Amino acid sequence: MSKRSPHTRKLVLEQAITVVLVVIAWQILSHFDAYEQFHEFSRNHEHWQLDEIAMLILVSAFVMGGGLYVRWNQLLSALTERDEAQRQAERHAWYDPLTGLANRRYFQIQLDSIASAGDAQNRVVAIIDLDRFKPVNDLHGHAVGDAVLKDVAKRVQGELDEDSTLARLGGDEFAIIFSRDVKPDDAERIARRIITAIETPFDVQGLSIMIGTSIGLARTAPDALASEGLQHADKALYSAKRSGRGRLAWYDDELGQRSRERAELEADLRLALRREEVFPYFQPIFGLGTGELTGFEVLARWKHVKRGDISPEIFIEIAEDIGLISELGWSILRQACRRAVGWPAGLKLAVNISPKQFLDGALVQKTADILEDVGFNPAFLEFEITESAVIPDMEFAECAIRDLQAMGVTIALDDFGTGFSSLSNLRRLPFDRLKIDRSFITNISDDPSNQRIVEGILSLARGLKIGVTAEGIESESDLEFVSSMACEYGQGFFFNGAISGDEVDWLLDALEDGEAPPALPRSRQKSA
Ligand code: C2E
Ligand code: MG
Ligand code: MG
């Protein structure tokens, strides 16, 4: 229980006295039915002059009542002030006043409570230390430094789920306890995203401030002290800083090895992009009713000099994490269009556009520039986007789609059926095509619930007058099934995997000569 201040004690005492006086006045008056009766009584007892006394008591009761009201209000505001002061004191005790984040003390208590609740199995703790922050304070003053710290807090918070705890430990040092759902691999991805987010310049008071960050990561152990996790993360941070700026490091050796490999891949990918060593492959798409080749999906490939083929699932994710995905996307678009310029008119190129690239304000202009530069007809280009590209800003998405369509480019919604699959997105955004995710198509004949889902998607698309392509046709029975449902287009290993530009040329020659398309060996398809 909190102690009351002398001022509050005095107010409470005064209040109590006032209440007692009013109660006494009320008790006296309540002996008389009404004022008239009281007046009569006083006339019979003139020497008492009771009516004057009664008047006096009444007036005092009113005055006291008014006083009571005023006092009551004072009491309430005093209590509110006291509570506010208490809250303020608590805020100072637990939170950092500049950023509003938890402070070191609160962070430590959170760590301890995780350990004491037996919840410290494999939780990840991170320490973030800004690079080149001191010169910001020295050169531009503390107001600018403070504004940067506030923005850093917001950017880091933006990368975390709401159950993770972010704290400012002091100065330019922040720390995270990742939520239980964030596994070590996820934590590492998030840490990389944070490094990329902090490398983006900060606009403060008309200045463009460039800083960076290093991150140390550690896993907490169930039987270790909670504070150990923080110490380990600190040691990891030290080794991250030693290996260069803008790096992350794990405390753990095995993870450390993996993170070194990943750092190497990142550096190699940067180089590979510059040298156009990430290049397009083309997966044929066929009209299922006609059997005709209608175009290709462009799929990025990376042949690493030492490690061989690296799956797009891996390098697309790396490119997203380190902020190179747009550069990769534009490079693939340019190379694919350059390769396809001489192919027969009417064959469409479907190019995957990542959410980051799609949300770039210059998307339409950059597309137009590349197409003009290469001399590729926009009417033969389709962009494949996923719902995660449109969710962050529906208005922007709608405008971008309409602008691209005005240029002649069509838009497909990729991987439909996974993720949100929101009907309101379909209603609002004018997609030209849905691509049903391969997880619904491969082995569809054995899976009645997938059959019903695909039927539903097809009738929905028909109602909305949107074309449909089925991905992942791997067998004759997959093909029979989707064809029997009147799905218009399809792609998959049953026809071809992704093939090189040269292989497309052979395929086109064979088709022109009226030969059956040259099938590629299955092993070759899967690796492509
Ligand atoms: P996606 O856009 O859904 O591409 C289709 C993926 O399914 C490709 O995987 C393709 O090789 C694979 N596939 C095609 N037919 C079959 C089949 O019959 N069975 C099976 N199991 N798989 C089939 P890939 O090439 O590994 O690409 C994976 C994902 O990487 C793509 O999924 C796309 O999201 C992304 N990606 C690939 N290239 C690019 C690119 O240039 N830019 C961007 N932003 N993302 C790309
Ligand atoms: Mg795709
Ligand atoms: Mg897809």
Report residue 145 as tokens.
């430094």
Do 362 and 395 form a contact (C-beta atoms < 8 A)? Answer: no
Q: Which residue has the higher pLDDT, 179 or 511?
A: 179
Of all protein residues, whose CA lies closest to atom 21 belonging to ligand 1? 472
Mean pLDDT within 428-457 = 95
pLDDT of residue 29: 61
Residue 39 C-alpha to ligand 3 middle, in angstroms?
A: 96
Q: Which residue has the higher pLDDT, 296 or 30?
A: 296
Residue 349 C-alpha to ligand 3 middle, in angstroms?
A: 14
The fold adopted by the segment(s) 104-251 is: Alpha-Beta Plaits (3.30.70)
Of all protein residues, whose CA lies closest to atom 17 belonging to ligand 1? 472
pLDDT of residue 77: 83
Atom of ligand 1 lying closest to residue 353 CA: 44
Residue 497 C-alpha to ligand 1 middle, in angstroms?
A: 10
- Of 471, 475, 479, 520, which is best to mutate to test ligand 1, by the most ligand atoms within 8 angstroms of its C-beta? 471
Cβ < 6 Å from ligand 1: which residues? 283, 299-300, 311-313, 316, 329, 332, 352, 354, 384, 414-415, 438, 442, 471-474, 491-493, 497-498
pLDDT of residue 438: 95
Please tell me the number of the ligand nearest to residue 417's CA.
3
Q: Which residue has the higher pLDDT, 209 or 392?
A: 209
Average pLDDT, the chain: 87
**What confidence tens digit (pLDDT) does each residue in 462-499 have?**
999 999 999 999 999 999 999 999 999 999 999 999 99
Cα separation of 311 and 192, whole Å?
A: 19
Atom of ligand 1 lying closest to residue 384 CA: 2
Of all protein residues, whose CA lies closest to atom 7 belonging to ligand 1? 472
Of all protein residues, whose CA lies closest to atom 25 belonging to ligand 1? 299
Residue 299 C-alpha to ligand 1 middle, in angstroms?
A: 6
Please tell me the number of the ligand nearest to residue 298's CA.
1
Residue type at 507 in one-letter notation: L
Please tell me the number of the ligand nearest to residue 388's CA.
1
Of all protein residues, whose CA lies closest to atom 35 belonging to ligand 1? 312
Do 514 and 493 form a contact (C-beta atoms < 8 A)? Answer: no
Beta bridge partners of 348: 295
Cα separation of 160 and 148, whole Å?
A: 19
Cα separation of 165 and 162, whole Å?
A: 8
Instruction: Reduce the DSSP state of residue 418 to 3 states and report it.
Output: strand
**What confidence tens digit (pLDDT) does each residue in 258-303 have?**
778 888 999 999 999 999 899 999 999 999 989 999 999 999 999 9
Report residue 78 as tokens.
């005093």
Identify the H or E element spanning 412.
strand 410-416
Atom of ligand 1 lying closest to residue 357 CA: 44
- Of 299, 318, 525, which is best to mutate to test ligand 1, by the most ligand atoms within 8 angstroms of its C-beta? 299
DSSP-derived pairing of the beta strands 293-304 and 308-310: antiparallel
Cα separation of 454 and 450, whole Å?
A: 6
Q: Long-range contacts: 457-462, Cβ < 8 Å, 24+?
A: 457/416, 457/417, 458/485, 458/486, 458/487, 460/423, 460/426, 461/434
Residue 384 C-alpha to ligand 3 middle, in angstroms?
A: 8
Of all protein residues, whose CA lies closest to atom 14 belonging to ligand 1? 492
pLDDT of residue 56: 74
Distances (CA, A) of 246 to 133, 296, 521: 13, 39, 44
Atom of ligand 1 lying closest to residue 332 CA: 41
pLDDT of residue 114: 81
Rank 47-51, 253-257, 346-350 by mean pLDDT and report only the highest.
346-350
Cα separation of 347 and 297, whole Å?
A: 11
Please tell me the number of the ligand nearest to residue 389's CA.
1
Mean pLDDT within 372-378 = 97
**What confidence tens digit (pLDDT) does each residue in 241-253 have?**
887 788 999 998 7
Of all protein residues, whose CA lies closest to atom 22 belonging to ligand 1? 472
Of all protein residues, whose CA lies closest to atom 33 belonging to ligand 1? 352
Atom of ligand 1 lying closest to residue 471 CA: 15
Residue 491 C-alpha to ligand 2 middle, in angstroms?
A: 11
The length of the chain, given as a count of residues: 528
Please tell me the number of the ligand nearest to residue 491's CA.
1
Please tell me the number of the ligand nearest to residue 353's CA.
1
Of all protein residues, whose CA lies closest to atom 41 belonging to ligand 1? 300
Distances (CA, A) of 252 to 179, 183, 221, 239: 19, 14, 12, 11
Cα separation of 57 and 448, whole Å?
A: 89
Residue 136 C-alpha to ligand 2 middle, in angstroms?
A: 43
Mean pLDDT within 94-118 = 88
Residue 514 C-alpha to ligand 1 middle, in angstroms?
A: 29
- Of 318, 332, 352, which is best to mutate to test ligand 1, by the most ligand atoms within 8 angstroms of its C-beta? 352
Percentages helix, strand, coil for the chain, rounded to the nearest 5? 55, 15, 25
**What confidence tens digit (pLDDT) does each residue in 2-17 have?**
445 556 666 667 667 7
524: confidence class by pLDDT, cuts 50, 70, 90: very low
Residue 165 C-alpha to ligand 2 middle, in angstroms?
A: 36
Residue 326 C-alpha to ligand 1 middle, in angstroms?
A: 17
Residue 60 C-alpha to ligand 3 middle, in angstroms?
A: 85
Domain-wise residue ranges, the chain: 6-94, 104-251, 432-495
The pTM score is 0.69
In sign, the C-alpha dihedral spanning 473, 475, 478, 482 is positive
